[in-house]
Amino acid sequence: MTAVRLEGAELIALAEFGETTPRGIAGVIARLVNSGELAAGTRLPTVRELAGELGVSPATVSQAWQALSRTGLIESRGRAGSFVRPLSQGWLAPRMRGMAAPNDPVRLDLSRGTPDPLLLPALGPALSRVSARAETGSYQAEPVIPGLAAVLADSWPSETETIMVVDGALDAISRALDEVVRYGDRVVVESPGFPPFLDLLDLLGAEAVPVAVDEAGMTPDGLARALHQQPVAVLLQPRAQNPTGASMTVGRAEALARVIRSAERAGDVVVIEDDHSGMISTAGDVTLGTWLPEQVVHVRSFSKSHGPDLRIAAVGGPRDLVDRIAARRMLGPGWTSRMLQTILLDLLTDGTSLDAVAEARRQYFTRQRALGDALRARGVPVAPADGVNLWMPVLSERSALVQLAAAGVRVAAGTPFLAASTAGGNGSGNGRSRSGGDYVRVTVGMVRDGVDEVADALATAAQHVVAGGY
């Protein structure tokens, strides 16, 4: 065994490698960081120091260091050396920190869950068309401009009492939870699910009751068991579920609604739906509001289809609840910029913009099918997915991240997407795959070409475990 002295009088124990390759070195360092044996801020040995201790070339250690840097575990501070990276930005909530990708350059970043900017409709023409008619100076006008309200109502998946707009889907979810949830309440969530939802519940002092997700979304049996704990709300994603890409069928939505109707205190449960990828989803529009109109708050975001920086989402549901959200907003931001609303209205009615969104939907479908087929052909059992993300089983999350970083590919760690436990689980919501491994999230929507090369890298990482394990 070789020991290398680190700054701060800590020692790093490097086992005798089965192979002294960049992959092997990176794996052992990653295991030590992951276990906490190498704390944030620890200075690592120089490339030449470690190469001398291990009897390998400096280039070998340098490649390992580069892989660890790309995966966000270490950072270089120039002549000061390389250090174990501290947690991501302090202004992010805990699970959002776990999602945050480092800003280090990488050949292919499939970690962020964002739409392909090349597939968004052009904003320039819309800005030119609306510049002369966008309102800029009214405090008392209706929060939603009439034209946008009409378009939203015509496209809503079910009858709803009222619709308003807010600053993005997460703003909508946060404000709905603020009106429904009190300290100590329970809320049913999907597991795996969207990490910021769990962060929001933590801030509210609420308890998440996780339910497993299958190819059609939240499972009815799991929901039935979760409802025994008398939650005040159910939080779910009807289409292109993040991270799995699952979309509910009409039959599944009806089954979930039937489970809620049959539960004790059924009328007290509010269902909050986050349809964040509606216009790029290939699945049919679906909502539990078809069967539970007085209990469902449906949120539709336009970030994936028209651009994250528009920061607009629509909220439809029972008038009493939506009006409370609107009243609270009037004591804060007031309303979503009517100038932005006018731009969105233009994008939702202009033929060229509509064609661009339709082409994006087709492209995402094609990319999902191509990469999914390629992974399954290589023995990786990924489920068919909708939208921009894919949930990939791996034998070891950390190993997969390091291996992909070494190949210049970044994906998102699966751990932040998982709740602590899963009610009525089928194995997909407890952090482990059916084969006993972990998961990572892959943003397939950014795979524009080179599908076979990407599939090779993903499949190799999915099936690889670094010697010594971690």
111 vs 469, which has greater pLDDT?
111
* C-alpha–C-alpha distance, residues 44 and 10, integer Å: 10
Q: In this predicted structure, what is the pLDDT of residue 63?
A: 85
Q: In this predicted structure, what is the pLDDT of residue 3?
A: 39
In CATH, 2-84 is 1.10.10.10: yes
Is residue 420 predicted with pLDDT exceeding 80?
Answer: no
Residue 141 Cα to chain centre, angstroms: 35
* C-alpha–C-alpha distance, residues 348 and 342, integer Å: 10
Determine how many CB atoms are found less than 10 A away from the CB of residue 139. 7
Domain residues of the chain, as ranges? 2-84, 94-118+353-463, 122-350
Is residue 8 predicted with pLDDT exceeding 90?
Answer: no
Average pLDDT over residues 368-396: 96
Average pLDDT over residues 18-36: 78
Supply the CATH classification number for the domain 122-350.
3.40.640.10
Percent of the chain with pLDDT over 70: 84
The mean pLDDT of the chain is 86
> Which residues face 412 on adjacent strands?
441
Is residue 86 predicted with pLDDT exceeding 50?
Answer: yes
Average pLDDT over residues 278-301: 96
pTM of the model: 0.79
Average pLDDT over residues 99-116: 82
53 vs 352, which has greater pLDDT?
352
In three-state form (DSSP H/G/I as H, E/B as E, the rest C), the secondary structure along the chain is CEEEECCCCCEEEECCCCCCCHHHHHHHHHHHHHHCCCCCCCECCCHHHHHHHHCCCHHHHHHHHHHHHHCCCEEECHHHCEEECCCCCCCCCHHHHHHCCCCCCCCEEECCCCCCHHHCCCCHHHHHHHCCCCCCCCCCCCCCCHHHHHHHHHHCCCCCCEEEEECCHHHHHHHHHHHHCCCCCEEEEEECCCHHHHHHHHHHCCEEEEEEEECCEECHHHHHHHHCCCCCEEEECCCCCCCCCCCCCHHHHHHHHHHHHHCCCHHHCEEEEEECCHHHCCCCCCCHHHCCCCCEEEEEECHHHHCHHHCCEEEEECHHHHHHHHHHHCCCCCCCCHHHHHHHHHHHHCHHHHHHHHHHHHHHHHHHHHHHHHHHHCCCCCCCCCCCEEEEEECCHHHHHHHHHHCCEEEEECHHHCCCCCECCCCCCCCCCCCCCEEEEEEHHHCCCCHHHHHHHHHHHHHCCCCCCC
Percent of the chain with pLDDT over 90: 57
**Highest mean pLDDT, choosing among 70-79, 85-94, 373-382, 455-464:** 373-382
309 vs 454, which has greater pLDDT?
454
Average pLDDT over residues 417-433: 51
Average pLDDT over residues 454-464: 92
Is residue 378 predicted with pLDDT exceeding 60?
Answer: yes
Q: In this predicted structure, what is the pLDDT of residue 266?
A: 79
**Highest mean pLDDT, choosing among 33-37, 103-107, 465-469:** 33-37
Q: In this predicted structure, what is the pLDDT of residue 388?
A: 97
**Highest mean pLDDT, choosing among 22-26, 179-183, 287-291, 466-470:** 287-291
Q: In this predicted structure, what is the pLDDT of residue 92?
A: 65
275 vs 465, which has greater pLDDT?
275
405 vs 34, which has greater pLDDT?
405
pLDDT band at 422 (very low <50, low <70, confident <90, very high): very low
In CATH, 94-118+353-463 is 3.30.70.270: no
Q: In this predicted structure, what is the pLDDT of residue 15?
A: 41
Interval 185-210: pLDDT, tens: 999 999 999 999 999 998 888 999 99
99 vs 422, which has greater pLDDT?
99
Which has the closest alpha carbon to 295: 382, 231, 204? 231
pLDDT band at 52 (very low <50, low <70, confident <90, very high): confident
Interval 254-289: pLDDT, tens: 999 999 999 888 788 999 999 999 899 999 999 999
Q: In this predicted structure, what is the pLDDT of residue 351?
A: 96
